[in-house]
Amino acid sequence: MGSVVDASAKEVDALLNEQQLVAEQHKVTRKEITVIGIVLAGAFLAILNQTVLSPALPKLMDAFSISAGTAQWVTSIYMLVNGIMVPITGFLIDRFSTRKLFFVSLMSFIVGTALCAGAPTFELLIVGRVLQAAGAGVQLPLVGVVPMLIFPPEKRGTAMGMAGIVMSCAPAAGPVLAGGIIDAWGWRMMFWAMIPLAILVLAVSFFLLTNVGELKRPHLDVPSIVLSTFAFGGLLYGFSSASTLGWSNAVVIGSIVVGVVALAWFIHRQLHIEEPLLQLRALKTPTFAYSAVIVTVVNSALAVGSVILPIYLQNVLGLTAFETGILMTPGAVATIFLSPISGMLFDRFGPRVIAIVGLTGLAGSLAALSFVDDKTMVEYLVAFYVIQSSGLTLANMPVTTWGINALPNDMIAHGNAISNTGRQVGGAVSTALIVTVMTMVTAANAEAGPVASTAAGIDVAYGISAAVAAVALIIAILKVRNVKKRTATAPAPQVGASGKTEAEAPVKATVAVAAACMEEATEGAGR
């Protein structure tokens, strides 16, 4: 026992000395902090844009005379494009400078927002959402990469934590701000109001944003992009169209078949080319594979909530858009407070207990929301919505970190891309499928009146979501384990010629060694 602890202590000292040397070689400057602030502002706008739309969905249904099944496209297409963009951003960050990426992506976001604001038809609104999502799909990964390139390993956790807190404010403020604007000036003003903010960030970035990292010459596999677009787009269009065309329609069946075939071809290609768009070999690590499945299933269960909850609050309970935003805010606030707490609990107790507790709360709250009607008390709704948001926060981060920690350092970036793609695409497809079922149930109960039929459809949607969340809970119970870190195999951070540590090698090694020492000491004291 003593020799093991001594050896571990020496390894810790060696790692800390190496990291101290790296830190001395690269001091974080005010200019670099400014870069992070600008990138963070861009990501904030992207997240804000995604959250402000929820209170507007019933208004869009009225403005364009469309069903809920059609209206969900404004959220589904956003998630789908993000899902396609996530694996591409790795190539873009390596291929193009920070300034070019930021300018082009933010310009795409601004043009898309303006198109949404002035869209005379729902089809043009969707085109605007595609342009918004293309820009946001670059802005969000930059937040994850730029701090990793700027900060030394011992400061990356703090930097990312602060970034997380700032970005969590967007879902908290978005629905309230959007609700107030929609009630006062209409849904179009919600988009117009965002354009000056984006232009301000663009102007500041023109003068203050500098390039970060070194450019490479990676190969972009265009056929993989085409296959992924047909795969995810085919599945999404097929499930979404079923509500209006019927499940037996040739277009619906054909779209789903094309999606399945393209997805199988995409997976096969990723496993057999030298530079895949997504490094799916990471899924050969069982722990990461289970983590990716759980995260995808969880987000599939929850993504639909941003569609059906506003519809329920406004079309069933008769609330205004502003009141809808107010009632959705406590869930976002719970996320802000629980995000750092979930990280500390993960470090202290491991992923198993916290993931099971979080997923139990998530599945239970969704099940409780499947019994709502036009007489449901608002307090009941808010309470279970907060439990739902809290459950997601408690489960998502620990499970994701548990899976990523199982990968070697050179696969971490690929693992993140796979998890993020699963989140976005799973959420988009499940939203389309569940909203389709909700629309069909609503139509089948039309004789009961608009309020009662809408409530019936919403109950079924929440019931399906609860069942999906229960699947994630079962997988977690069976497969999530608290893994002991091994001191003997903990890799040291890689230092490049420039003196910077590799972005794929954060302080994971130090944490692993220190945690192992603490575990040994705790077990010894217990004995």
pLDDT of residue 136: 84
pLDDT of residue 171: 67
**Regions of the chain with pLDDT less than 50:** 1, 4-5, 7-8, 12, 15-16, 22-23, 486-527
pLDDT of residue 475: 93
| Extents of the domains making up the chain | 30-209, 221-276, 285-483
Surface-to-core class of residue 72, CB atoms within 10 Å of its CB (0-12 exposed, 13-18 middle, 19+ buried): buried
Instruction: Give the whole-angstrom CA distance, residue 516 versus residue 68.
Output: 52
**CATH number, domain 285-483:** 1.20.1250.20
Q: Select from 462, 487, 114, 478 the least CA-distant residue to 301.
A: 462
Instruction: Give the whole-angstrom CA distance, residue 48 versus residue 21.
Output: 39
Q: What is the dihedral of CA 471, 475, 476, 477, to 10 degrees?
A: 100
pLDDT of residue 471: 92
Give the pair of three-digit tokens for residue 349: 């107790």
Q: Say which CATH topology domain 30-209 has.
A: Growth Hormone; Chain: A; (1.20.1250)
CB atoms within 10 A of CB 100: 12
pLDDT of residue 442: 85
Same fold, 30-209 and 285-483: yes
pLDDT of residue 392: 84
The pTM of the full predicted model, rounded to 2 decimals, is 0.70
Q: What is the pLDDT of residues 147-181, one digit of tens each?
A: 666 666 555 555 655 666 666 677 667 777 777 88
Q: What is the pLDDT of residues 250-264, one digit of tens each?
A: 888 898 899 899 989
